[in-house]
């Protein structure tokens, strides 16, 4: 997602009076604005994606804590909705058959054969997908293919 698109989404959420969407997108925007000010540079699409992932992670941690603490259901529902909203803005994850085909291609290209090569293969997968793949499924699949 581009930075301008994020700003447009905030405006659309404000017009639609969608407070949950507006609030969580403003949180992402605030973090990105800090990058702009502190590092004195333009925010890139990669920055937006990384920040979305970071805010998702933080929100999921808060959600887990809320569930464990038995806090009120309204807060838990709000956090769950915010995670779903943010995940909708992330690029599509590579998974399933597409992931297996990509793993096979990387194994063929790198010539990896042992579990010692697993880090190199995972690095190549990250490079080819921009980090948008199911890492647990990839590790499991690699573990079964490497000796």
CB distance 116 to 76 below 8 Å: no
Same domain, 47 and 15: yes
The mean predicted confidence, pLDDT, of the chain is 90
Same domain, 13 and 68: yes
Quote the pLDDT of residue 112. Answer: 86
Same domain, 10 and 71: yes
CB distance 126 to 99 below 8 Å: no
Residues 29-67: tens digit of each pLDDT:
999 999 999 999 999 988 898 899 899 999 999 999 888
Q: What is the CATH number of the domain that holds 42?
A: 1.10.1510.10
Global model pTM greater than 0.75: no
Residues 85-100: tens digit of each pLDDT:
998 998 888 888 999 9
Q: Whole domain around residue 7: which residue ranges?
A: 3-87
Residues 128-141: tens digit of each pLDDT:
888 888 888 899 99
Half-sphere exposure of 4 (CA within 13 A, CB side): 0
What mean pLDDT is predicted for residues 6-26? 95
Q: What are the DSSP calls for 32-87, one per residue?
A: HHHHHHHHTSPPPHHHHHHHHHHHHHHHHHHHHHHHHHT--HHHHHHHHHHHHHHH
Select from 124, 55, 109 the least CA-distant residue to 87.
55
Quote the pLDDT of residue 1. Answer: 85
Measured distance CA(1)–CA(89) in Å, rounded: 7
Same domain, 27 and 76: yes
Task: Name the domain count of the chain.
Answer: 2
Same domain, 53 and 83: yes
Same domain, 80 and 110: no
């Amino acid at each position: 997602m581009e930075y301008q698109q994020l700003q447009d989404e905030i405006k659309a959420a404000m017009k639609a009076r969608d407070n949950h969407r507006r609030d969580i997108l403003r949180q992402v925007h605030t973090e990105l604005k800090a990058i702009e000010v502190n590092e004195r540079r333009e925010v890139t699409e990669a920055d937006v994606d990384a920040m979305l992932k970071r805010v998702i992670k933080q929100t999921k941690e808060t959600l887990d804590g809320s569930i464990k603490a038995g806090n009120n259901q309204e807060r838990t529902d709000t956090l769950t909705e915010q995670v779903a909203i943010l995940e909708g803005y992330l690029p599509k994850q590579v998974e399933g058959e597409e992931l297996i085909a990509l793993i096979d291609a990387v194994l063929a290209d790198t010539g990896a054969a042992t579990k010692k090569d697993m880090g190199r293969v995972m690095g190549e997968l990250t490079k080819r997908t921009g980090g948008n793949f199911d890492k647990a499924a990839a590790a499991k699949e690699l573990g079964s293919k490497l000796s």
